[in-house]
Structure 1
Amino acid sequence: MRFLVDAQLPPALARWLVEMGHDAGHVADHGLQSVPDRQIWEFAVTSGACIITKDEDFAQRRALAEAGPAIIWVRLPNARRRELLTWFDQALPAIIDVLERGETLVEVI
């Protein structure tokens, strides 16, 4: 699965996803860290990536759009990188399962 990690989340999450066998990059890897959300959205559509974000704007846009990238909306409280990666390690199989079933907006609480 291909993921694009948004700016509010650490680049370490993208690196970890690669270690887990996925195609992943952080917006900074693609020169997108300071661009409008619209450009991140378009990049995700073009590259076939699911956006992992803490930005509610992406979730709202996905809920209203007929097409576009899948969104994983992370609503966890701010945490240290290690805690975030531990959480993702436990949750990723369920997230992948939901995405493979065709869900386009996954809210992670």
Structure 2
Amino acid sequence: MTNATDIHQHLWGAPLLAALRARRTPPFLDGWTLHLDGEPPYEVDPADHDPAARAAQAEGDGLAAALVSLSSPLGIEWLPPRRRVRFWPPTTKAPPPSPRRSAPGPRPA
């Protein structure tokens, strides 16, 4: 394993999948078919959102960490607060405590 970190991965955990499947207006999932405003239906590959498989892939790629973010095309951030999909906490492990700073500033020695 290296100290490499992938800073851009998308992983939809079980809470997000359930929330998207419970919706009837975009963004929503019908099985594994994603429906978005202004886009044709898209078949999502379930393997892309299997936390154990993705963790094994990251380990196989020699990653020390992978940062997960939402995919902007979902448009969740643009929904009114009462209609936003609730999905946190994700089904992945929380990162261990780190002495590193997340805000800009001098790097620790």
For the aligned pair, the TM-score class normalised by the smaller chain equals under 0.3
TM-score normalised to structure 2 length:
0.27
User: Which protein has the bigger helix share?
Assistant: 1
TM-score normalised to structure 1 length:
0.27
Larger RCO of the pair (alpha carbons < 8 Å, separation 6+): 2
